[in-house]
Chain A
Amino acid sequence: MTLPVLDVQDLKISFGAHEAVKGISFAIHARETLALVGESGSGKSATALSILRLIEREGGTIGGGRIVLTDGGRSHDLRNLSDAQLTALRGNAISMVFQEPMTSLNPVLKIGDQVGEVFIRHRKYDRRKAMKAAEEALDQVRIPDPARRLHQYPHELSGGLRQRVMIAMALACRPKLLICDEPTTALDVTTQAEILTLIRNLQAEIGMGVLFITHDMGVVAEIADRVVVLRNGEMMEEASVHDLFERPKAAYTKALMAATPKPGSGSSTRQAGTETVLEVEHLSTRFAGKSGLFSRNSSGVLAVNRVSLKVARGETLGLVGESGCGKSTLARSILHLIEPESGSVRLDGKVLNSSSKQALRETRKDMQMVFQDPYASLNPRLPVHELITEPARIHGLVSHKDQKELAADLVERVGLERDAINRFAHQFSGGQRQRLCIARALSVEPKLIIADEAVSALDVSIARQITDLMLELQRTEGLSFLFISHDIGVVERVSHRIAVMYKGEIVETGPTDRILKSPEHPYTRRLLSAVPSPVPKRRSAPPQLSTSLQVEVPSLAALA
């Protein structure tokens, strides 16, 4: 029996007085992928960083346990190594791919320098040889035209390509262990599918062990051999991926599974009304080209291209598409936060008209928006009762005297305690903040709520609670939603109908069931095939996108 590449025993990590990881143990063998699953605060990233011994830089300390790496027959406990020994291992025997490809590459250094650096450091190559090796490394991660990429800067590459560069850097010295910390969370589903396939193929080629950190059960099912479930720094369960999905033992695992949206599990919406609330006709929005003193008269980009859609009373229309397809621009154009170039928006029969500020304000009252980031969209200096009644005050719907009363009613409607109104936003968790955002939207009794990626930043179980709240509000108050998300699983659960957006156009609209079961547009088919399904597949037959489909509708990232 060969030794595992990495053997972690009873690892404890603390940040100051707070113990983030409370004694976890796991082992990873060569050619094996272990997924570390958990929600935010579970200690999964702290575990990853402690293996690289970079946790000290983030203010953490390893309080106990062993981290044994076996490389070429020799084993060392990483906790006992000197700084010099550690830097010799990092990027060499152990390497890591981080979550945010947009910020993880140095913006002022060329790709070639950043990849070549690893060869210069660990292989003692000279610059010319390092550049040659970097080109091969980029080629290995299937980056088209690698020679040209060497001379590009990170901002010239799409998110998916940047993540490939990160992987090329991590695999440059053929490590024994690759740690991936949520490597696809910031990417679109289609790009995610490509990156997961890439990691799996390279693992077969290089034979490294992979520690894969994620919160997404769908991704776990796609990539893992074995799974460790973490919660608040404790191990809930360790199992093979098949056992975990078929016979989850820990109650927490079961709850996590239940909260994970499963494509094809149907929507839990009720019958919607027939009366139209929102009617958008041929709406187009153009972003001006570079305008400047000496600029040529460029026509700009058509971010929203003749979009028409309808939302009925008590109905949720799900809007899906990759980042950059124009979803958010469409939402803002509907509210006239961005002035559309042409087309019309009717709310309850009234046309939104930005020529009159007064009239626009009147109509806008009936449409409220909930944004993605519940941390950034609440003013940290206002107490909750002022925060969530502000729209009502602006529209003169509530007197100063009744404001607290209204606030208390609102927080109750979104499932918070009435006494929450005297606290401030920072005293709430992410999920609770998103409830506050919804309460704020409800303060003016809108007919339609536009939720722009409203649950994308939340953990699955929290996201589930928020979408349940939306469904509940819809059932009791007949609210309509335009629900924008890149996550088809979530959209399916809440939507009566789905509209698919691609390059500024709605390519397909239809009832949720019909779109998911028999998509008509090739782009919809491509999008659906990329969604990781939380059902483990045989590793020998990774799902491949059909090449013809890829050629037919390139992902937006590939076009960038």
Chain B
Amino acid sequence: MLTYVLRTLLRMAITLFLIVTLVFFATRLSGNPVDFVLGEGITKEDRDLLIAYYGLDSSIGTQYLRYLSSVFSGEFGLSFLERRPVSEIVLERAWPSLKLLLSAVCFTLVVSIPLGILAAIYRTSIIGSVVMVVAFLGYAVPSFIIGILLVLIFAYTLNWLPVIGDGTALHFIMPTLAISGMLVAAITRFTRNAMLDVLSQDYMRTARAKGLPEWIVILKHGLRNASITLLSVVGLQIAALAASGSVVVEAIFAWPGIGDLLVRSAILRDYPVLQFGVLSVAVAVIVINAVVDIAYAFADPRIRLAKG
């Protein structure tokens, strides 16, 4: 188990390093950032001065090494627009994003796991078919469509829910639903498949032969096993969909989170913020994946108790 954890952590470190590198080169691809920051009509001398100030006159290798050393010492520079450390700006935005993410994950799990179980148990009846059709549709509709539809119905037409910001609990409803749409669809399908695998196992028959009532057989013996496979999928899906979904959804609802910040910094060409923002999201995804990997191993006694 210890080996497993260490190996997961090492893999995580390697991925992190690759992402740090990728972010560096990706931002260099779009030309000299100085040209975006400065307006027109700047003199050649001033431009050169600024390039030297940002260290952009040295070779790409030197820049990369300097970048690496600043990343590892926690120096991410100042925002072009706000003249504040980018880490400060991004961290302010992290908490609202996290709250929204948690709300979406809780909603997703509460809805999709029971639905998935139902779809598995009643796979041959109309209930199962209805759940799967709905799940399939949900998977096909992108989060920004759901978001816009929700706004049209509940804000403009019915005037029930607020649209902008994160002030009250009511503010959470629409963004949560918009992010969860695809997640619910995906997790319902995975739950159904995982349960179907488990339902035909020999130990389920053993549990019934013991005289256990059906709901104990399903929840204790079935779900316990299915949750091991589910865990890995749920973790990956949440990391992937939540990260991409929240960028769009936060923009729609002007949610003061990292997604909204990224979109704004990209439009305003605030590269230090964009760079650090992307890095933070990437780190969050990697950390979630690593946590899931370890949790997965921990949930399965066959891995947890393996020697080494």
Contacts and interface: CB of A to CB of B under 8 A. Distances in A.
Contact of A153 (B3, B205, B228, B301): B301
A57 B221 CA distance: 16
B211 interface: yes
Given A90-B211, A294-B7, A109 B308 contact: no
B224 A121 contact: no
Nearest to B210: A91
B308 A95 contact: no
B224 A106 contact: yes
A152 to B, nearest CB: 9
Chain B CB count within 10 A is highest, among A86, A108, A117, for: A108
B308 A90 contact: no
Contacts of B267: none
Contacts of A156: 305
B210 A105 contact: no
Contacts of B228: 108
Given A100-B202, A117-B212, A109 B221 contact: yes
B211 A155 contact: no
Nearest to B4: A292
Contacts of A103: 201-203
Nearest to A49: B205
A119 to B, nearest CB: 10
B159 to A, nearest CB: 49
B209 interface: yes
Interface residues on A, range: 35 or more
Chain A CB count within 10 A is highest, among B3, B206, B302, for: B206
A108 B7 CA distance: 23
Given A106-B221, A292-B308, A87 B203 contact: no
Interface in A71-113: 83, 86-92, 95-96, 98, 100, 103-109
B268 interface: no
B127 interface: no
Contacts, number: 95
A347 to B, nearest CB: 38
B213 interface: yes
A83 B212 CA distance: 11
Interface in A107-155: 107-109, 117-118, 121-122, 153, 155
Given A293-B7, A294-B7, A295-B3, A107 B208 contact: no
A295 B308 contact: yes
Contacts of A292: 3, 7, 308
Nearest to B308: A290
A121 B212 contact: yes
B79 to A, nearest CB: 40
B300 interface: yes
- Describe B's contact surface by its main secondary structure: helix
A92 B300 contact: no
B206 A293 contact: no
Contact of B206 (A83, A98, A294): A98
A293 B10 contact: yes
A460 interface: no
A166 B205 CA distance: 12
A169 interface: yes
Contact of B225 (A54, A57, A106, A170): A106
Interface in B181-224: 201-203, 205-214, 220-221, 224
A57 B217 CA distance: 13
B83 interface: no
B227 to A, nearest CB: 9
A472 B53 CA distance: 91
Nearest to A88: B211
Contact of A54 (B209, B307, B308): B209
Interface in A25-57: 52, 54, 57
Contacts of B2: 294
Given A91-B209, A117-B212, A294-B3, A98 B301 contact: no
A103 B205 CA distance: 10
Contacts of B106: none
A294 B9 CA distance: 12
A100 B202 CA distance: 8
A104 B206 contact: yes
Contacts of A295: 3, 308
A107 B203 contact: yes
B302 A155 contact: yes
A57 B199 CA distance: 10
B270 to A, nearest CB: 40
B6 interface: yes
Interface string A402-426: 0000000000000000000000000
Contacts of A121: 210-212
Contact of A107 (B3, B214, B302): B302
A91 B6 contact: no
A83 B208 CA distance: 11
Contacts of A104: 202-203, 205-206
B11 to A, nearest CB: 9
A471 B121 CA distance: 51
Contacts of B6: 293-294
A106 B209 contact: no
Contacts of B299: 108
A133 to B, nearest CB: 14
Given A109-B221, A294-B7, A54 B210 contact: no
A555 to B, nearest CB: 23
A90 B209 contact: yes
Interface of A: 52, 54, 57, 83, 86-92, 95-96, 98, 100, 103-109, 117-118, 121-122, 153, 155-156, 166, 169-170, 290, 292-295
6 contacts: A98-B206, A107-B300, A117-B210, A121-B211, A169-B210, A290-B308
Top 6 nearest A-B pairs by Cβ distance? A90-B211, A91-B211, A91-B210, A103-B202, A153-B301, A106-B203
Given A106-B207, A293-B7, 18 more contacts: A54-B205, A57-B205, A86-B211, A92-B211, A98-B205, A100-B202, A104-B202, A106-B206, A106-B221, A108-B224, A108-B299, A108-B300, A109-B220, A121-B211, A290-B308, A292-B7, A293-B10, A294-B7
